[in-house]
Structure 1
């Protein structure tokens, strides 16, 4: 029993780490004093007041693909970036407009989701059936729970247990199941895996975000719960860094719209999914702002290559691999 318990704790720790990463990446950051500050479901653009360059690399290249430039020299990064720039320049006039850059960023996001869904779809559906049943998915992901006792099922790590993870997936599955047959088609499975990018799943994202933040379960988010998701002092008397004070101010001035000291459902919704916010357009504006030396609101290849660290740094995306596969490098 001791070995089983230790194994359970270790596995739960890994699951919680993964789920916490997903939770953290789904919660945007606070307002920062920058002309193109923006939120993202995949990371904070300005982390503690400091510009997070990796955010731009992932937006430009895609989350998975950006890792692939890690081992490249600056020269190779620039060379591959040059090939990408030629692809972005849709009308081949030598200039990258905001519209062209926006289209590219939207494309990389769609590609990432399609490839991620394809990988997981094949994992759970090796015969490529038209749909996957809940029971098939449950057995693959949570089948090990059948051998655990109640204490192990409810054992928590950072407030998360196997039981709560199963409950969350079951609820998300039910919402994604548009035809109510308890099976998910490829399209429905996409909504299940990436609810933040699917219009029918907005309420699921809202509910999960509130559940993650609302530690005292009173149905609203206090400023301490808001801050606690981003910052936990290592010592009880540790002085909060300046960026935490900025986050508290952002909560009061920009998040808490009715000034009652809490975030209600509508305020959380405006925070994580603001009306008329276009991530791709905002990121395109930011990249042009960073690289447009002559301030003509468009980019030449030279301007982009001169700022290659903004776009790819020493990181690349899956697109680099895709180009390599097609002998375009």
Structure 2
């Protein structure tokens, strides 16, 4: 998110756990991403929209974010591998799909609807993938035993693990058990597919809202006072030891200021539960609308609040990229557009 809900305090163990969790590519729900996924909204991209692209501590616009928001993560990778002309050809075909009324232009609402459908598909695909991995008996429900034995198999096999890893697994197992119980809406001890979606993507479910807030506070709150201090907040998003540099980048300084101005609303130096809720679930921000406005700003040359095919193709690098943005990854190319 993205965005699978995450636990940044577990990041230092990920490299090792990736090795011991290679079975079916499964990790506990708390290890699927990093702090970037904390604000709960549809994951427009796995990238940061503005980030330090050149490791020079200067925040810049990242076009990869726009590509993934417009295409979806996997299709963005495919487009990145294409030659420019083929990329434009496929973008033209996409234009015709987005232009629902077939009048030759795309409105802001049509673009917004498209981006929303792309990101909703991401959630559905992820649920389906994990459902297949977890549903060992191929019925219409997943039991806790199925999920537990598949995800935390290292706790049950005969291979000894370091105590630190075992302790982390036990903590995550306990956390997942609580979330599983909350997601089990009918209380029958199993999860149907809708309940399973709420379990692995609680940030997308209104009935899981309170638990998401609780989990977030537990993840970041180091001193156990039930609140998130400024330093706890900063340590969650930036590790000076891992960065091997005690000089804070500009973006961290900006986050410090944002915490004081916009997150700690009562200015007591900490975020209480209500302030955490407003941070995770902002009521005054629509990320899909923001991305739509951004793409229009980049491409609407005549500023008529509509995008013609010519305008989009002229700015194809903003929407889909090309070989010019390929970082050398070996990517599969689909021809399904």
TM-score, normalised to structure 2's length?
0.80
Match of 1:33 in 2: none
Change (3 A) 1:264 1:288: same
Instruction: Report the counterpart of residue 288 of structure 2 in structure 1.
Output: 280
Would you say 1:165 and 2:165 are equivalent positions? no
Corresponding position: 1:12 with 2:17: yes
| 1:44–1:168 CA distance, 2 compared to 1 (3 A) | farther
SS of equivalent to 2:288: helix
Match for 2:233 among 207, 226, 235? 226
Q: 2: distance between equivalents of 1:41 and 1:27?
A: 13
Runs of 4+ in 1 over 3 A off after TM superposition: 8-11, 13-21, 38-44, 147-156, 234-237
Q: Given the alignment of the two structures, is residue 185 of structure 1 paired with residue 192 of structure 2, yes or no?
A: yes
- Secondary structure of residue in 1 paired with 2:156: helix
What are the residue-to-residue correspondences of 1:79-118 with 2, within 5 Å? 79-118=89-128
Determine which of 20, 27, 50 is the counterpart of 1:46.
50
Q: How many residues align?
A: 304
CA RMSD of aligned residues (A): 3.1
TM-fit CA distance, 1:205? 2.1
Secondary structure of the corresponding residue to residue 290 of structure 1: helix
Q: Aligned partners of 1:249, 1:149: CA distance in 2, in Å?
A: 47
Q: Are the equivalent residues in 1 in contact too, given 2:44–2:68 (CA < 8 A)?
A: no
1:258 maps to which residue?
A: 266
SS in 2 for 1:116: helix
Q: Deviations over 1:178-230 (max 9, x none)?
A: 00111010111111111112222222222222222212222111111211122
1:77 Cα deviation after fit: 1.6
- What residue number does 1:247 align with? 255
- Separation in 2, partners of 1:21, 1:310: 28
Please give the secondary structure, in 1, of the residue aligned with 2:218.
helix
Alpha-carbon contact 1:28-1:44 (below 8 Å) kept:
no
The structure whose RCO (Cα within 8 Å, separation 6+) is larger is 1
SS in 2 for 1:169: helix
| Partners of 1:313 and 1:9 in 2: CA distance | 31
Please list, as runs of the form range in 1=range in 2, the aligned pairs for 1:189-204 lying within 5 A after superposition: 189-204=196-211
From the superposition, tell whether residues 58 and 115 of structure 1 become closer, same or farther in structure 2 (CA, over 3 Å): same
Distance 1:228 1:312 in 2: 34
Q: Distance in 2 between matches of 1:300 and 1:68?
A: 24
Query: Residue 68 in 1 paired to residue 68 in 2?
Result: no
Deviation at 1:25, TM superposition (A): 3.4
**CA 240–94 in structure 1, closer or farther in 2 if over 3 Å, else same:** same
Mark the runs of 5 or more structure 2 residues left unpaired by the alignment. Answer: 1-12, 22-26, 53-58
Please give the TM-score of this superposition, normalised by the length of structure 1: 0.81
| SS of structure 2 residue aligned to 1:164 | helix
Question: What is the DSSP-based 3-state SS (H/G/I as helix, E as strand, rest coil) of the residue aligned with 1:293?
Answer: coil
Structure 1: runs of 5+ lacking an equivalent: 1-7, 30-37
Report matched runs for 1:210-221 at 5 Å: 210-221=217-228
Counterpart of 2:310 in 1: which secondary structure?
Answer: helix
